[in-house]
Chains A and B, each alone.
Chain A
Amino acid sequence: MSSTFPAKTLREAYNAVDPTQPLPAGDARYVNCNDVRGNEDVVAQMFRTVSYSNQDTHQLFTGHRGCGKSTELLRLKARLEDAGFYVVYFAVDEYLDANDVIYTDLLLSVARRVEEDFRKDDIELTEALKTIESWFAEVVFQQNEWEQYQRQLEAEASVGVGLPRTVPFIARLLAKFTGQIKTGDEVKTEIRHKLDRQISQLIEQINSLLLQACLEARKRGKQSIVIIVDNLDRVTLKEVSPGLTSHDTLFVEHGRQLRDLRCHTIYTVPISMIYSTKATVLRNLFPDTRVLPMIKVHEPRAKGAGDSAQGLERMRGLLGHRVDLEALAEPDAITYLCRASGGHPRDLMTMVRHSIEYADESQAKPIDLPAVRRAEARLVSAFARMVPEDHFEKLARVHLTNDIQNDEDHQTMLFNQSVLEYAHDDVSAVEPVSGASTEPWHDVHPAVQKLARFRKALEDERAQSPIRA
């Protein structure tokens, strides 16, 4: 990786805009975009919720795929740690099969990760682990099952599979369960079934672990524990029973259990959840839901739909921290890309990569308008595949109203990013007639707007409701 930014050659620039890397906290490439993502810094909000509260808080965090969620969460983690919190951060897909996650899996992996992090810090949680162990031994499993697990883990440890013997037995067992949950062993269903029947006890057990962990952390001068579960938004969206998606089951049906953990928690959820038919229930369960919107590169229709100079500047800044734009690019070309990205950081990075492929090295500023136009065409073509035929009519309506409905199609649009969410930058400036002014607004991704099918749908829609046009 190039270690100096901004990059001065096309080759360095290409590697400076890797769309697959979230930025570590404190990275030189980070740009604060609060002002164009709404008034509030989401990280600051979440931080305050945790640090001001005397009680445990349970927050949801969401935003479009690739809009910088993980980057922001890593910042939050660093900030909480600076303030003395003990932060347990993990990405759910490290342990679980995101194609098939249920809430008990999630609770088990919380226990596993807490044990693991404390062990790495040489903090013993022996007492609580013993209690959990005997609960599993006496309540969850039959004696023969339990002995079978003991033998199995011993055998595995003796041949160097799994965790070594020095690790407490229950920790090895948790690792095994969550491991089985990842690999889809048939034992998985059985364990889930057993735990599901004794859910309140399971939560009690995990809470006793958290309690001890909290006490131990305090002994070392720490504040309480914060658990951040990242990538939960990657849980595959599918219908598990009529009218019930995998997301509903996890976050709505079992939201209460996720809230029952006795520490601060922050869960990531798919942005489409916030607009699902179950949104109200979700909001009741988790009143503190934070959305990381897109960077606003243009204004909503109510304010003329023109460029947002500030937002474009911020997008340019995102690139400027990584690439020496002065040396490599025509200013017009960069503005063009920033508009075309819809304020979506990853799409911007991807398009810059495409542009570099098209760049004419013989030019003084090889990233020029022809190069970025062709780069944009690749993104447009990618969207042509993502958008189902029957969405265009609704997309045209979203574009004309800057508003979305809480239904399945609109959920899919947010999920596949054909619709992007923005925040009003200055709440007081929004005309009162436009309704609840703090509500976010929406627009169709600029790449989708270039599709002929969208343009056709837009014409039809305008013809139908001339007032809007």
Chain B
Amino acid sequence: MSAPNLPSEPDVAAEPAEVIVRRLVRAIDYAEGFWLGFVRCNLIDQRRKAAAACRDLLAPLGIRLVEIDLTEPVSELLPILKARIVEEQSTMSAAGEQPPTVFAALPAKLALFVYGLEHSIPSSEAYPSILSHLNLNRELFRQEILYPLVIWLPEYALTALARRAPDFWAWRSGFYELAPDAELAARTFGPIRDEALYVSASLSEQTKRERLTLLKGLFADYRELGDGSHERRAQCEILNELGSVHMVLGELSEAKQAYQESLAIARYDNDLDLIAVLVHNLAMLAQDQGDYEEARRLYNESLEIKKRLDDQNGIAVTLHELGRLTQRQDDYEEARRLYSESLEIKKRLGNQSGIAKSLHQLAMLARNQGDYEEARRLYSESLEIKKRLDDQSGIAISLHQLAMLAQDKGDNEEARRLYNESLEIEQRLGNQSGIAISLHQLAMLALRQGDYEEARRLYSESLEIEQRLGNQSGIAATLHELGRLARYENDYEESKRLYNESLAMKRKLGNISGEASSLYGLALLYEEEGKYGEAIEYAKQAQEIIERLKRPNIVFINEMLQRLQQKISAL
């Protein structure tokens, strides 16, 4: 990316779109039987324009253009093409019946344009099944598709195809590269760049996937447009957007790659504001994966740059995330301080979505300390703002927390209703970590109501997502719950194994409150087994932590210890 400038290949100069369209039309006109061509085109608007020009030139030649737009990933192309050809032929012959001319007997020539195959090729590094399908069945394409076939792809997908389906690629007769259009690229990227984060997070999963494709196309265009600082900055911003979309979709390794590539460019150009943003984003990623130390280091690095640049909004955002990290590590006082500092800045700047986020976190703190009224008030205030902004992803999170409050009060029906409402939104948005959390909570409700089977199903589903995301704290929490479930079912060995696994993970993460609940779980387990000595051992460890954290559930532990002492004396 930050490679030194190379002279461009003189012979590979970009061709005007008109020349490309003319060549393509001539090839389609000349070709008899199967013919394969590829068009490299990164932006949909550009493709539409070129395809329309082709259609206009093909019509007078008696060639009918059949456009096949694959909006979803596919694992095979041949059956789709065959079905479409049959469909076209039947409409043609139906039309031919009315005026029975001599020409009606002659099948009109078709030309097949295939769009959207990139949805089946997630990245240029992947081995998607569609590519092996193409490579292996090229013979069948020749036998069964007796028309010109033109596959339109963006740069990254074309590269993947050339490398991963070399035999299919080797059969191309035509190869056309639409040159990037600087103005179109700027017009396409502008609105995305200026969009607030909560807006893109609130797009449906489908739209997010389309956005990924669009961003990859834009990136390729800017790369080709030149190596000036303007183009590099655009590449950098596009990669950052790309990372953020991958991030909300739970594709963390792709996100990391995009952020790091972007950071490399930003550092090369010493683009401080971008460096600060990217370091912050990498910190969030580290936090999601449970690497809290790295996350803190990166947040501080980002914060320092933002302070130097006096980027108030940026400072507020990083303080907020530092607060979340601190909260996760159970230092509630410090977390409150950071949230408040962040909130103050946001209020000054009038950053509504930011204010909503801060209120939300403060509400969480209130709940943790047993102030349910205050928590409800803050959550509701936050939700109001999010609704006003139509911040769907934020709304889902608020509903989730309100559900937890209902659960605290023992109102299972209300809790379930709210979790489901939240889950529905998360699913629409494709927010994987949100889905996992909602499933986890719904499982807890099922467990509470004695439906062990349903609880296990939901926990397992949640665990599967967490594992895919590599979300250590989520995995630890779900293992704990599965341990509890095993205990209820009197499978003590399994339960012990799960609690201990969870405990080890939480200790590694520095999640003290989580540690306490696993210790408490183990204490209950030993109590049930009648091993009161061990039970007291674990209960004391839990008590010590919970006292330190000043959590309201200290009463349960104290009760337990009393009970255990009595049981021992009774023996």
Q: How large is the interface on A (under 10, 10 to 19, 20 to 34, 35 or more residues)?
A: 35 or more
Most chain A CB atoms below 10 A, which of B11, B32, B33:
B11
Given contacts A93-B139, A450-B9, contact A382 B132 (CB under 8 A): no
Q: Which of B417-451 contact A (CB under 8 A)?
A: none
Contact for A357 among B11, B33, B169, B174, CB less than 8 A: B174
Whether A91 is near chain B, meaning CB under 8 Å from some CB there, is: yes
Q: Do the beta carbons of B136 and A97 come within 8 Å of each other?
A: yes
Given contacts A91-B139, A386-B163, contact A353 B173 (CB under 8 A): yes
Which chain A residues lie closer than 8 Å to B33 at the CB level?
Answer: 1, 18
| Among listed B22-30, B307-315, B362-370, B374-382, interface-contacting one | B22-30
Which chain A residues lie closer than 8 Å to B13 at the CB level?
Answer: 377
Given contacts A386-B163, A450-B9, A453-B6, contact A99 B158 (CB under 8 A): no
Q: Which residue of B lies closest to A382 (CB)?
A: B175
CA of A382 to CA of B174, assembled, Å? 11
Q: Which of A156-196 contact B (CB under 8 A)?
A: none
Q: Which residue of B lies closest to A389 (CB)?
A: B3
Q: Do the beta carbons of B136 and A356 come within 8 Å of each other?
A: no
- B9-23, CB under 8 A of A: which get 1 and which 0? 101110000000001
Whether B177 is near chain A, meaning CB under 8 Å from some CB there, is: yes
Which chain A residues lie closer than 8 Å to B31 at the CB level?
Answer: 14-15
Whether B492 is near chain A, meaning CB under 8 Å from some CB there, is: no
- A227-249, CB under 8 A of B: which get 1 and which 0? 00000001010100000000000
Whether A398 is near chain B, meaning CB under 8 Å from some CB there, is: no
Which chain B residues lie closer than 8 Å to A11 at the CB level?
Answer: 29-30
Most chain B CB atoms below 10 A, which of A11, A238, A353, A416:
A353
Q: Which residue of B lies closest to A378 (CB)?
A: B175
Given contacts A15-B30, A65-B170, A98-B136, contact A358 B23 (CB under 8 A): yes
Q: Which residue of B lies closest to A100 (CB)?
A: B132
- A366-385, CB under 8 A of B: which get 1 and which 0? 00000001101110111011
Whether A296 is near chain B, meaning CB under 8 Å from some CB there, is: no
- A423-446, CB under 8 A of B: which get 1 and which 0? 000000000000000000000000
Which chain B residues lie closer than 8 Å to A65 at the CB level?
Answer: 166-167, 170
Whether A451 is near chain B, meaning CB under 8 Å from some CB there, is: yes
CA of A416 to CA of B12, assembled, Å? 20
Contact for B6 among A19, A238, A378, A456, CB less than 8 A: A456
Contact for B26 among A19, A357, A385, CB less than 8 A: A357
Whether A6 is near chain B, meaning CB under 8 Å from some CB there, is: no
- B163-198, CB under 8 A of A: which get 1 and which 0? 100110111111101000000000000000000000
Whether A346 is near chain B, meaning CB under 8 Å from some CB there, is: yes
Whether A354 is near chain B, meaning CB under 8 Å from some CB there, is: yes
CA of A285 to CA of B8, assembled, Å? 47
Whether A350 is near chain B, meaning CB under 8 Å from some CB there, is: yes
Given contacts A357-B23, A382-B175, A386-B162, contact A20 B9 (CB under 8 A): no
Which chain B residues lie closer than 8 Å to A374 at the CB level?
Answer: 11
Which chain B residues lie closer than 8 Å to A18 at the CB level?
Answer: 33, 173
Q: Do the beta carbons of A380 and B12 come within 8 Å of each other?
A: yes
Q: Do the beta carbons of B136 and A99 come within 8 Å of each other?
A: yes
Whether A251 is near chain B, meaning CB under 8 Å from some CB there, is: no
Q: Do the beta carbons of B30 and A381 come within 8 Å of each other?
A: no
Given contacts A1-B33, A20-B142, A353-B173, contact A452 B167 (CB under 8 A): no
Whether A10 is near chain B, meaning CB under 8 Å from some CB there, is: yes
Which chain B residues lie closer than 8 Å to A380 at the CB level?
Answer: 9, 11-12
CA of A416 to CA of B169, assembled, Å? 11
Contact for A451 among B9, B23, B175, CB less than 8 A: B9
B527 CB to nearest chain A CB (Å): 47
Given contacts A20-B171, A234-B136, A415-B166, contact A452 B158 (CB under 8 A): no
Whether A66 is near chain B, meaning CB under 8 Å from some CB there, is: yes
Contact for B12 among A93, A346, A354, A377, CB less than 8 A: A377
Decide if the interface of chain A is mainly helix, strand, loop or mixed: helix
Q: Which residue of A lies closest to B175 (CB)?
A: A378
Q: Do the beta carbons of B135 and A381 come within 8 Å of each other?
A: no
Q: Which residue of B lies closest to A453 (CB)?
A: B6
Which chain B residues lie closer than 8 Å to A354 at the CB level?
Answer: 174-175
B560 CB to nearest chain A CB (Å): 50
A250 CB to nearest chain B CB (Å): 15
CA of A384 to CA of B13, assembled, Å? 13
Which chain A residues lie closer than 8 Å to B12 at the CB level?
Answer: 377, 380-381, 384, 450
CA of A96 to CA of B9, assembled, Å? 41
Q: Which of A203-247 contact B (CB under 8 A)?
A: 234, 236, 238
Q: Which residue of A lies closest to B164 (CB)?
A: A236
Q: Which residue of B lies closest to A353 (CB)?
A: B173
Which chain A residues lie closer than 8 Å to B173 at the CB level?
Answer: 18-20, 350, 353
Q: Do the beta carbons of A385 and B159 come within 8 Å of each other?
A: yes
Given contacts A93-B139, A238-B127, contact A373 B11 (CB under 8 A): yes
Which chain A residues lie closer than 8 Å to B27 at the CB level?
Answer: 14, 353, 356-357
A368 CB to nearest chain B CB (Å): 16
CA of A451 to CA of B163, assembled, Å? 17
Q: Do the beta carbons of B9 and A385 come within 8 Å of each other?
A: no
CA of A382 to CA of B167, assembled, Å? 13
Which chain B residues lie closer than 8 Å to A356 at the CB level?
Answer: 26-27, 30
Q: Which of B102-132 contact A (CB under 8 A)?
A: 127, 132
Whether B7 is near chain A, meaning CB under 8 Å from some CB there, is: yes
Q: Which residue of B lies closest to A65 (CB)?
A: B170
B352 CB to nearest chain A CB (Å): 45
Given contacts A353-B27, A378-B175, contact A66 B8 (CB under 8 A): no
CA of A97 to CA of B137, assembled, Å? 9
Whether B36 is near chain A, meaning CB under 8 Å from some CB there, is: yes
B58 CB to nearest chain A CB (Å): 15
Whether B34 is near chain A, meaning CB under 8 Å from some CB there, is: yes
Which chain A residues lie closer than 8 Å to B170 at the CB level?
Answer: 19, 65-66, 346
Which chain A residues lie closer than 8 Å to B24 at the CB level?
Answer: 357
Which chain B residues lie closer than 8 Å to A14 at the CB level?
Answer: 27, 30-31
Q: Which residue of B lies closest to A99 (CB)?
A: B132
Given contacts A346-B170, A382-B175, A385-B162, contact A20 B34 (CB under 8 A): yes
CA of A382 to CA of B172, assembled, Å? 10
Q: Which residue of A lies closest to B20 (CB)?
A: A357
A456 CB to nearest chain B CB (Å): 6
Given contacts A381-B177, A385-B162, contact A350 B172 (CB under 8 A): yes
Q: Do the beta carbons of B132 and A236 come within 8 Å of each other?
A: yes
B328 CB to nearest chain A CB (Å): 37
CA of A14 to CA of B9, assembled, Å? 27
Q: Do the beta carbons of B36 and A20 come within 8 Å of each other?
A: yes
Which 8 A-B residue pairs are closest in the complex by CB-CB distance? Answer: A357-B23, A99-B132, A14-B30, A377-B11, A98-B136, A452-B6, A385-B162, A385-B159
A15-B30, A350-B173, A416-B166 given. 8 additional CB < 8 A pairs?
A10-B30, A14-B27, A20-B142, A97-B136, A98-B132, A381-B12, A415-B166, A416-B163
Q: List 14 A-B contacts (CB under 8 A).
A: A11-B30, A15-B30, A15-B32, A18-B173, A65-B167, A66-B170, A93-B139, A98-B135, A98-B136, A346-B170, A353-B173, A381-B9, A386-B166, A452-B6
